[in-house]
Amino acid sequence: MSTAKAALEQAGVPESLEILDLDIGGMTCAACAARIEKGLNRLPGVNKATVNLALETARVEYESGNVSETDVIHKVEQLGYKAAPRVERDQEERRHRDVTGKLSKVIVSAILSLPLLWAMAGHFSFLSWLWVPELFMKPWFQFALATPVQFLIGWQFYVGAYKALRNGSANMDVLVALGTSAAYGYSVYQTIRSSTNEHMHSVELYYETSAILITLILLGKLFEALAKGRSSEAIRSLMKLQAKSALVIRNGKEMNVPVEEVVLGDLVIVKPGEKLPVDGIVMEGSSSVDESMLTGESLPVEKQAGDSVFGATINKNGALRVQATRIGQDTALAQIIRVVEEAQSSKAPIQRVADVISGVFVPIVVGIALIVFFVWLLAVEPGSWSSSLEAAIAVLVIACPCALGLATPTSIMAGSGRAAELGILFKGGEHLEQTHTIDTVVLDKTGTITNGRPELTDLLVADGWNRDDVARWIVAAERSSEHPLAEAIVRGLQEQGGQAASAEEFKALPGYGVEATVEGRKLAIGTRLLMESGDVDFSAAASAMSELEEQGKTAMLVAVDNRHAALIAVSDTIKPTSREAVKRLKQEGLRVIMLTGDNARTAKAIAAAAGIDEVIAEVLPDGKAEEVRKLQKAGRKVAMVGDGINDAPALATADIGMAVGTGADVAMEAADVALMRGDLNGIADAISLSRQTMRNIRQNLFWALAYNVIGIPIAAFGLLAPWLAGAAMALSSVSVVLNALRLQRAKAS
């Protein structure tokens, strides 16, 4: 099951809802993407469709009972575009074909346009010294050069314009087709007129205008394709990390097999220096493993029997035997790639600004061009068709909305890709956008601020009870619990020689503790509230419990048959980077709060060690979500940071939920952002990358709109030749993409 589908099911969406990723061909500008998106969303049975111009993809959520994959593809084709199910392994080849095709067209178009440009240069007085072959000045020779550029190389613009107009809308192709056709058509008219009128000695021709415009627009598209290829480099680099083969043991023999042929349960041998081919559990051996390609953490992690390892990480110095637990699309790397793809394909809310503008932009520009044409023809230079035509063509060309459509998605692609390289997974463009608005960070304690691996420190048995009996009963009860504290208690008591027993009628009470029946005895292990609810008198242990809690330990009471029997304590040390990370968050002006179900004394001790001033303790899982809501009602933008399991309600309630951890579980968390390093510095890094990405998007939108706001009036006043307008339009698109690519080198401040 894909991460997207799992998320849909967690959100309560019917199982009949399917996800379809498509490659879209033929889009030229934001208006194209908007039209496809609008058409798909109107299709009965489609829940949501988003189209990404930069990636040339579409993601469609649809109800399989009401509409089929074929229906969706047919709708895209009906709108005048190509569509096919997305297959990742074909992406590189498709990109290569696209770039090669565009390059070929640019070369042919440039060769045919060069003599026309040369002839045009001969008309400028400041270039009077330039020799121009007489042949280049002949109208029919220029016609012969311009015609294949207009109708062979430029045919794609006519096709795109026809399809757009047929569907009742307009796009960049309409502007290009109108502008170049006007220049070419007027030139053909003048050519025919000159050949039939012997008295015409000078002819105003604009063949070079249409040919050079087409060449420059195609050149801009080529640069865009090259730049967009770089912007998806993050995904390609992740995919290249995957091992190609694996050394497995089958029927007692070692054999090398392609990684695709590894099956669950296979025992894989990983030698020093090799990549791990799959996710698994270390069965034999010990080594340090470089997990930087997954977590962004540069220091190798020590691994031994029982530890989890992940595919694509590098075994440094010892031989390991690993049992495969996740293969193929279920590995941590595959899920991370999927999350990054989904983030890059999603649409940030700020994109709506560009969508609204592009939806009405082309018709408005056509209207402006017509007004400019008639103003010039009737008022500025009465009767001068050539000057009127030049001004109108310049307006049409300078206004192409390509840059506007690329402004947001290219930045989202580059920003989310860079974040993934630093071990930060944004689950969608909207989360990348919203993260920079956070002003309050709420931190869970266990596994977030602390290492999450508590150790048993104390077992104080009350008078009248046998220590071995009590230890055996505690092990039996806690062994059925999945809580980290329970694991620490069981591990610690067994290391002390505690024997095993069987528990019956086990019951976990979140926020309180556990209850079980062991060897006919009724056990209760947990908080003061649990004891009070069972009328257990623990006054004799109250002083010792308070003392342990003041030391930063988590103390739990043990009752047997409703009588106090023991006091048990565990301690969880804070992560080495937690204090530094909290200090960094405070320096950024963020309010930092620790929210925990632990008792107040322990919580305050841990908070003090981490440098946190505000503590909300003894809060049940459901209560954590309520505490987050209280902060939101007070006007705070809240990021909840936890392990993504016990803190799920709070993560879902917060403006941004951040899951801290590593490995395959991270990609499946119901959080908005996954911090794979398990380091709280990732919070500040995520906020910093969000700020840089949003700043980049605003820069792109500003320049995309500025080109038009400044360029259209200049063109309307006749101060911009059409071929210069084409160059400026191409430059605007390329500059937006190049600006977005700066995020690939972004540093988390």
Average pLDDT taken over every residue of the chain: 80
Q: What is the pLDDT of residue 715?
A: 82
Name the pLDDT band for 65 (thresholds 50, 70, 90).
confident
User: How far, rounded to the nearest angstrom, does the alpha carbon of residue 185 sit from its chain's CA centroid?
Assistant: 47
Alpha-carbon dihedral sign for residues 514, 516, 521, 522: positive
pLDDT top residue among 14 and 248: 248
* Greatest mean pLDDT range, 1-10, 59-68, 358-367: 59-68
Alpha-carbon dihedral sign for residues 235, 237, 238, 244: positive
Nearest Cα neighbor of 330 from 264, 396, 423, 234 is 264
Has residue 567 got a pLDDT over 90? yes
666-689: average pLDDT? 77
354-363: average pLDDT? 68
Has residue 413 got a pLDDT over 50? yes
577-586: average pLDDT? 91
Neighbours of 611 (CB within 10 A): 16
Contact 442, 591 (CB under 8 A): no
Name the pLDDT band for 287 (thresholds 50, 70, 90).
confident
Q: What is the pLDDT of residue 638?
A: 92
Name the pLDDT band for 95 (thresholds 50, 70, 90).
confident
Nearest Cα neighbor of 746 from 463, 437, 416, 523 is 416
Stretch among 70-74, 213-217, 546-550, 693-697 having the lowest mean pLDDT: 213-217
Say what percent of the chain tops pLDDT 90: 14
* Residues whose CB is less than 8 angstroms from the CB of residue 634 and which lie 6 or more positions away in sequence, other chains included: none
> What residue type is assigned to position 687 of the chain?
I
522-535: average pLDDT? 90
Name the pLDDT band for 593 (thresholds 50, 70, 90).
very high
Nearest Cα neighbor of 140 from 209, 207, 199 is 207
Name the pLDDT band for 577 (thresholds 50, 70, 90).
confident
Q: What 8-state DSSP symbol labels residue 447?
A: I
Q: What is the pLDDT of residue 3?
A: 40
Which is catalytic among the residues 173, 266, 444, 672? 444
* Greatest mean pLDDT range, 115-129, 201-215, 521-535: 521-535
Q: Catalytic site residue 468?
A: no
Nearest Cα neighbor of 74 from 31, 34, 39 is 39
**What's the residue count for the chain?**
749
Stretch among 272-281, 492-501, 677-686 having the lowest mean pLDDT: 492-501
Instruction: State pLDDT tens for residues 601-619.
Output: 778 888 888 999 999 988 8
**From CA 549, how far away is CA 553, in angstroms rounded?**
5
Name the pLDDT band for 203 (thresholds 50, 70, 90).
low
Contact 561, 543 (CB under 8 A): no
Q: What is the pLDDT of residue 591?
A: 94
Strands 673-675 and 656-660: parallel
Residue ranges of alpha helices (H) inside 232-280 are 233-240
Which residue has tokens 């051996």? 285
* Greatest mean pLDDT range, 95-99, 314-318, 581-585: 581-585
Question: Beta strands of 468-571 (E only): which ranges?
Answer: 503-509, 513-518, 521-526, 554-560, 563-571
Q: What is the pLDDT of residue 726?
A: 60
Has residue 733 got a pLDDT over 80? no
Q: What is the pLDDT of residue 286?
A: 86
pLDDT top residue among 246 and 233: 246
Q: What 8-state DSSP symbol labels residue 574?
A: B
Neighbours of 358 (CB within 10 A): 24
Which residue has tokens 């042919």? 108
Has residue 117 got a pLDDT over 50? yes
319-347: average pLDDT? 73
**From CA 414, how far away is CA 412, in angstroms rounded?**
6
Has residue 458 got a pLDDT over 60? yes
Residue 324 host element (H or E): strand 320-326
Contact 424, 675 (CB under 8 A): yes
Strands 279-284 and 308-309: antiparallel
pLDDT top residue among 703 and 628: 628
* Alpha carbons within 13 A on the beta-carbon side of 137: 10
pLDDT top residue among 472 and 202: 472
pLDDT top residue among 367 and 733: 367
Q: What is the pLDDT of residue 18?
A: 83
Q: What is the pLDDT of residue 291?
A: 75
Stretch among 228-237, 315-324, 361-370, 383-392 having the lowest mean pLDDT: 228-237
Q: What is the pLDDT of residue 26?
A: 80
Q: Phi then psi for 133, rounded to 5 degrees?
A: -55, 140
User: How far, rounded to the nearest angstrom, does the alpha carbon of residue 458 sit from its chain's CA centroid?
Assistant: 46
Name the pLDDT band for 405 (thresholds 50, 70, 90).
low
Has residue 448 got a pLDDT over 50? yes
